[in-house]
Amino acid sequence: MMALVDTELAFSVLLGREQGLVEQILADIALGTFVSGNRLVTAQLAERYGTGVNPVREALKQLEGEGFVTSQKNSGARVASFEYTSMRDLFEILQLLEPYFMAWFVDHYSDENVARLDQLLQQMRGLTTNDRVGFLHLDNLFHWEMYRHHYNKSALKIWKTKRLMLLAMHGNLAVSRTRIEHSIGEHQQIIDALRAGKGAQSVQALALHLSSSEDYWSKLIR
């Protein structure tokens, strides 16, 4: 059984050393630490992240430009209310990138990779019903295990950023046990296809998993 984990652990895959303050704030939104409508007080954020107020202001300005933060003259910066169209656009980008990574993985994976995927899946099965953070952490690791060796590091960096942004849109939404169980089954189909040496089938299973995930979150956002 896996306990709730902190931000750094839960998003260790997405928050690499090259990531900065913007990504840390996004991670806190993704974890539900800050939710839609919450004020983002510059001095408090500076203390939280161990930095100065000017870097925080710059980060908030960037997040405002990307639609994650709103700013008004008298109320300051707040976490934005996210729209379906923004989430749809991010899903479409991920649905282009992830099968591209997977198509390379099916030609290069090892038994060790599959064993690692299976280990992560078993940990998902052992989660408590309300462990949203644990599920997101393991899901990140599962996908990362399939993509991390890809040669196109620029594309991987885009994937990390867009996935983190997508998770931030879900920050104040619960993951139902039914969705977790469906997701576990979809991950199992990917593993089964890999073990059977059916590369095209595993890519198709991944695409169906992404489509199923989009359908679930779309209904909640709408």
Helix 177-195 to helix 132-147 angle, to the nearest 10 degrees? 20
The pLDDT assigned to 1 comes to: 32
The pLDDT assigned to 106 comes to: 97
Rounded CA gap, 163 and 188, in Å? 21
Rounded CA gap, 104 and 147, in Å? 9
Q: In DSSP terms, which residues pair with 69 in a beta bridge?
A: 79
Q: Hey, how many other C-beta atoms are within 10 angstroms of the C-beta on 76?
A: 14
Tell me if the domain spanning 14-79 has CATH number 1.10.10.10: yes
Q: Which two tokens stand for residue 146?
A: 């399939």
SS3 readout for 122-189: HHHHCCCCCCHHHHHHHHHHHHHHHHCCCCCHHHHHHHHHHHHHHHHHCCCCCCCHHHHHHHHHHHHH
Q: How do the domains of the chain map onto residue ranges? A: 14-79, 84-221
The pLDDT assigned to 47 comes to: 94
Both ends of the chain: CA-CA distance in Å?
Answer: 33
The pLDDT assigned to 76 comes to: 83
- The phi, psi pair for 118, rounded to 5°, reads -65, -40
Q: Which residue ranges of the chain lie beneath pLDDT 50? A: 1-7
The pLDDT assigned to 53 comes to: 93
215: Cβ contacts below 8 Å, ≥ 6 apart: none
Q: What pLDDT, in 10s, does the model give residues 99-124?
A: 999 999 999 999 999 999 999 999 99
According to CATH, the superfamily of the domain at 84-221 is: GntR ligand-binding domain-like (1.20.120.530)
Q: Which helix (H) or strand (E) holds 143?
A: helix 132-147
Distance of CA 131 to the CA centre of its chain: 15
The pLDDT assigned to 35 comes to: 84
The pLDDT assigned to 123 comes to: 92
The pLDDT assigned to 18 comes to: 54
